[in-house]
Structures are given as C-alpha cells and as structure tokens.
Amino acid sequence: MYIHNNIMSTNGLSMTAIFAERALLPNGWARRVRIVVGDDGRIAEIAPNSQEISASPTLKRSCLVPAPSNLHSHSFQRAMAGMAEHRSAGRDDFWSWRELMYRFLERLTPDQIEAIAAMVFVEMQESGYAAVGEFHYVHHQPDGVAYDNIAELSERIFAAAAQTGIGLTHLPVLYTYGGAGQKPLKGSQKRFGCDIDRFNRLCTAARTALRNSTPDCAMGLAIHSLRATDPEQYRILLDRYGGEPIHIHAAEQHREVEEVEQWLGARPVAWLLDNMNVDERWCLVHATQMDVSETQGLARSGAVAGLCPITEANLGDGTFNGRMFLDHEGRIGIGSDSNIRISLSEELRQLEYSQRLYYRARNVMTEDGHSTGQALLLRSTEGAAQAIGRDSGALETGKFADMVAIDTTHLAFCGLTEEQLIDGWVFATDDRVVTDVWSAGRHCVINGQHVQREEIEGRYRHTIRLLADRI
C-alpha cells in the first residue's frame, strides 16, 4: 500500500519520478533535480538543472537528502519507554535498568512483538530513516523452550518490516551465557539462549522465511557481546557467516570491561582487534569505554562504530571519543537501540553535544569550515549503509532510493543558507520537518505520516493496554 507516481521508461518499465528544488548529491547541493526510481527500488537517473514539466505525474518536493539506515535497534524495548525513569534504591545504572527490561520481556507474546516492531518501524521512517538493522536476541518462549517454528519471532520482525515497507537487515543474535567466563543463563535470559547448533538451525529457518520478504531485506550476524559468548563460538560463526555484516555490543560499561579483561586478559575492543580480524564487515556497537589505543585501532580497522547517543545517555553508558576516532579516519553510524526516543535529528544532535561536553568545544564532529549537521548526516548515512550491508548511503545512480524530503519552508529554515539547511534540521528544529521518506523507492511517509500509521498505531495501543494490565 504505497503511493507511486509512475511514468514509463523507454524500455517499457514503470518508473517513479521526483522533482526537488534542491538535493544533496555526493558532490554537494544541486538545484532543480529530477530523480527517477525504477521498479527495482534503485535510482535509475539523476538529472540536476532539469526543467519541471507540469504535465508529467512527477512528485514535487522542496529538498531531498539521502535517508540513513538505523544500524542498531531492539524494537521490543520501545514498549517500556518511560517505565524506567523512577530512581530505584541504591545505585541506579545500566544493570538495574537491565533487570527491569528482563522482567518486562517475560510477558511478551509473538503477536505483541510484531505489533511493537511495526510501530517502531513507522516511527523510524517518520523521523527520516529508510532502513534498520534489527539486533534480534529474543528468540524463544519465556522458559527458553523454542517455538514450534524456531524462527517464529524472527518472522514476526519480517512481517512488521513488510507491513511498513522499511528496509531490513535482520541480525539474529548468538547469546549463550549469562556473563563473562561462561556463566549460565538465568531467568529471562533463557529467551535469548542458543548454542551453536541451535543458532544455526534458527538462522537457516529465518533465511528461508526471509526469501518471501521485500527484495532489499537481508540478514547478517550478531554476537551479543564478549560476555555472552566465547572465543571458540566466534571462530565457528565466522567460518560459516564471515561474508555477512557482523555486529557486536562492545565495551558499553566499565563493569563489562573489567569482567572481560579479568576473563580473557585484555580489554574487549583490544581483544577483538587482536583476535578476530576486525575489518569493514564489522560494526562495534556503543564502544563508549575504549582507551586511546583501542579508539585508534578500531578507526584504522575500517569497521563502523555503531553509536546510539540517546540510549547511551539514557543508560549512563559514557561518551564515545568521537574526534579522535574521526582523526584516524574512523567510520560511524547511528542507531536507536532501546528506542526510548526515536528521532534521527536528536540522535545526531545528541552525538555532537556529547562531544562538545567531552572536549569543551564547539562543532567537533566536522572539519574546519564545514557544516556540522551535514557532516553528521552524511557520515552516518554512509557508515550505517556499510554496517548493515545495504547498497545505499547516497543519492547516486544504481543505489537503493533511500531518500528523505524536508520542508525548507518551515520557520526554522527562513534565515539559513543552503549550506546551513541540515544544521537547521539537526540543531534548530526536529523531525516534524520530515515530509516524505522513500525506502528503496517505496513511498512510505507522505506529508509527515506513514501510510500505514492508523492501522499500526491502533494495534500498538491495544498491545500496550494488554501489557499494562499484566505489569
């Protein structure tokens, strides 16, 4: 159920044309840009300085920019947003928040997981994301017993993606142990639990099911963390899935770093760099607890640092050393992790502001003389595309048509030059200026609202009412 304005190409294929007064192309801003999207969801033609033909069925927008992918999401956690903002006795930190999260997920059914994921994907697209990397670790029933279909909950994520039209890289997570040193799973962790054989069966079933999804959906591999797995498992997985995107939670908390160092004899990121051939396939999520050598080594590896600034601030994770990372040619992308707040512009803003506080300086995440907002957007768009293995990341012929239109007639833009437009979006307003989003050419957000919002929001509200009655 997506709206297209179709034209016919010379070879008879149906195509969609969008005309923008300005668009942010790889070589900078261009005026009067006509973009043609083929039925395969890829950009077939980009023509700057085009004449608008009023008789053609061309969509007209004021400003088009590449739409990033959200590289890290646990969609089910959206339903508990706001429930953990009451101070508990003693020290309230990531680990106390995790206990609440565990209790919450004990109640989730497959139908509820699907309904929550669909709402999350709607909110992501309405904020400007075109695709998502779903870091999916809730695999089984609350007692740890597999569903009759071992990929039941993965298929619920696929269904949510299909309904919303968001691009998806599904990242099933290996989670075997309850803590560093091969501690046993306990309580709600049993929903996550897989040894290698069980994980392989789950991945095989999920791949079979994914073939029925949209063509731009894919799968990668996720290792939950060093503390939840072990070195022998990594080697087995990389032998089997080594050609796919590889994601891992890395060094999010001081306690995690200390426990891993005590167990493996090295800090988490240092251990990965020394033992796992970390390269362009990898995305290390969070990595907020790196020392100087780890920061520089990760940057040089070609891997993407997956940053989730709102969640990292909410959970007290710490601050990523962004300027040093960029100085060593590091690659970044952003995600929404716990989904307590789903906002593309706020993630970018929080990332920059965290660096300003860290360095006590301004305009940290860009080069001299360049726009900070535009640099953040473009770096994140390119990095996230790499991280989830998606052929997007720029408005460029042949790439997926992942595009976002913003309303530059909004009050926040009235005094800004073209080079300041993304700064206006990131620092002076919010995602209400997003008017349209295309995910691989699917026109999913129109005039600021997802085309399926009414139905999906109704189902989500019903789901939350049921959950609230049980909590």
- Choice among 337, 407, 423, 431 that is catalytic: 337
Asked if 338 and 26 count as a contact pair (C-beta separation under 8 A), the reply is no
Asked if 6 and 15 count as a contact pair (C-beta separation under 8 A), the reply is yes
- Measure the CA–CA gap between 274 and 286, rounded to whole angstroms: 19
8-state DSSP, 310: H
Rounded alpha-carbon distances, angstroms, from residue 147 to 141, 152, 190: 6, 6, 13
Strands (E), 75-155: 131-136
> Would residue 111 show up in a list of annotated catalytic residues for this protein?
no
424, with CB counted inside 10 A (0-12, 13-18, 19+), is buried
- Choice among 74, 136, 224, 286 that is catalytic: 286
- The whole-angstrom distance between residue 63's C-alpha and the CA centroid of its chain comes to 23
Alpha-carbon Rg for the chain in angstroms:
22
Rounded alpha-carbon distances, angstroms, from residue 60 to 38, 405, 412, 434: 17, 10, 21, 14
Neighbour-count burial for 449-462, b at 16+ CB within 10 Å, e otherwise: ebbbbeebbebbee
As given in the structure block, the two tokens for residue 79 are 């339903």
Half-sphere exposure of 64 (CA within 13 A, CB side): 29
Half-sphere exposure of 18 (CA within 13 A, CB side): 28
> Would residue 286 show up in a list of annotated catalytic residues for this protein?
yes
Positions marked active-site: 286, 337
